[in-house]
Amino acid sequence: MSVTEQTYDVVVLGAGSTGENVADIVVRGGLTAVLVEPELVGGECSYWACMPSKALLRGTEVLLEARAVDGAAQAVTGEQDVDATLARRDTFTSHWDDSGQVSWVEGAGIDLIRGSGRLDGERTVVVTGTDGGETRLTARHAVAVCTGSVAATPPIDGLADVGPWSPRDATSAKEVPGRLLVLGGGYVGCEMATAWHALGAEVTLLQRGDRLLPAAEPQASEAVARSLRESGVDVRLGTDVTGARREGDTVVLTTSDGEFRGDEVLVAVGRAARTRDIGLETVGLEPGTYLPVEETLRVTGHPWLYGVGDANGRSLLTHMGKYQARQAGAAIVARARGQEPDTSDWSPFVATADAAAVPSVVFTTPQIASVGRTAARAEKGGLPHRVVEYPIGNVSGAALFADGYEGTAIAVVDTEREVLLGVTFVGPGVAELLQAATIAVVGEVPIARLWHAVPAYPTVNEIWLRLLETYRG
């Protein structure tokens, strides 16, 4: 078989949202780049994660919001249309066709090779093409590994044999299952339980720990568990699944809380690095592990190798992968020009926000929007802090937003520096409050100055004023 040899300034493994952005930044910086991708250009977020999951949830959210406003509620006389919801979801995944993203890659001046890449020593990548051909790529300056993550599989007897749903199946299913068992109470499990229950499935959510969304503020976990239960989802906490089997079309899970039966079982118990078959051993790294990276996303001890996005395990979110891509891309360009990038906190070359200010939204009912440190993390980090909490429903803007608005805002304040360490909002529509909190946390805006950031009346943003008043006491 013939082997093609090519040289680029930068070789990027994986054309997900992270890889696309690394390639774009370095090409804008005057370098040449090639993207290597065995599946769909655009990666997990576009086809099996963020976009389809949020498209599945949006209709349910809009209906709930309308039903919470007297006058509008009377106009909502029907149920959510399942076929139309699934069809709208399909448009957001471009029907799992990546030609739009391929055109973008071409337009951005990035080369694309369809195939699976693996490292073969320093600065070298061998690609086995989807057409069977082999290409040997040499990188003049950098190889960026952006191969993402895969769903973790728990070692449960018989589980692999029952044909469980992965998050990919849960976001791309063409039909609503009659009974859905959801294993895992993280954000994927909670969002998919919300979505499929609203579309008609009978859902049981099994969580091993004592609360849902374990990384969130406890008030957020309680609100989501309460709402799921009130809507009819069977939420079982502290439940260990010990075995799985099929009885005809039925999946049976044996657990510490008895047996549960369903038509499908979604396994959403976390993620693992997708770095098993990419030749890490040829450069002295351990296959299957998250890439250990320093502040510019360069793999420790390997000056030419970068690990960006889910592949480094730092913060498994699309926007954080894209942020890291911008920082790593800038560092690659600087080093290619012979300049050593500034690695101080918040410089354009480092991913400081990974540790200090990760924003995230869980699109459950209610939504959970958070940034920075929770009270537990501030405590663990030994930071002097005070927790301030206020019911969002007491704010006029929230009362207008929905009759009987229920929600909570929690701010974690650094009492020594008088800045915000973190903020969590729990309630309908709170996702859109998050960027103000992110700016306050990243900007380390002093509390005294926040009093001058006057929220417009009557909006839900008035919650900021109430949090400040509560802090002042």
Ligand X SMILES: Cc1cc2nc3c(=O)[nH]c(=O)nc-3n(C[C@H](O)[C@H](O)[C@H](O)COP(=O)(O)OP(=O)(O)OC[C@H]3O[C@@H](n4cnc5c(N)ncnc54)[C@H](O)[C@@H]3O)c2cc1C
Which residue ranges make up the site for ligand X (CB under 6 A)? 13-19, 36-39, 43-45, 49-50, 53-54, 116-118, 146-148, 167, 171, 188, 274, 278, 309-310, 316-319, 321
Name, in order, each residue with C-beta under 8 angstroms of 294's C-beta and a sequence gap of 6 or more: 300, 343
CB 45 to ligand X: min, Å? 4
Name, in order, each residue with C-beta under 8 angstroms of 165's C-beta and a sequence gap of 6 or more: 173, 264, 265, 266, 267
CB atoms within 10 A of CB 118: 18
Q: Alpha-carbon torsion 273, 28, 296, 122, what sign?
A: positive
CB 286 to ligand X: min, Å? 16
Q: What angle do CA 436, 440, 443 make, to 5 degrees?
A: 130
Closest to ligand X by CB, 116 vs 424, is 116
Peptide linkage before 458 cis (omega within 30 of 0):
yes
Closest to ligand X by CB, 227 vs 364, is 364
Whose structure tokens read 């694309």?
112
DSSP letters spanning 21-76: HHHHHHHHTT--EEEEESS-TBHHHHHHSHHHHHHHHHHHHHHHHHHTSTTTGGG-
Closest to ligand X by CB, 269 vs 468, is 269
CB 247 to ligand X: min, Å? 28
CA neighbor of 98 nearest in space, from 149, 145, 51: 51
CB 233 to ligand X: min, Å? 17
Q: What angle do CA 298, 304, 305 make, to 5 degrees?
A: 50
CB 304 to ligand X: min, Å? 17
Closest to ligand X by CB, 293 vs 316, is 316
Closest to ligand X by CB, 61 vs 310, is 310
Closest to ligand X by CB, 307 vs 422, is 307
Whose structure tokens read 């590994």?
145
Closest to ligand X by CB, 58 vs 319, is 319
Residue 350: what residue type?
V
CB 422 to ligand X: min, Å? 18
CB 1 to ligand X: min, Å? 19
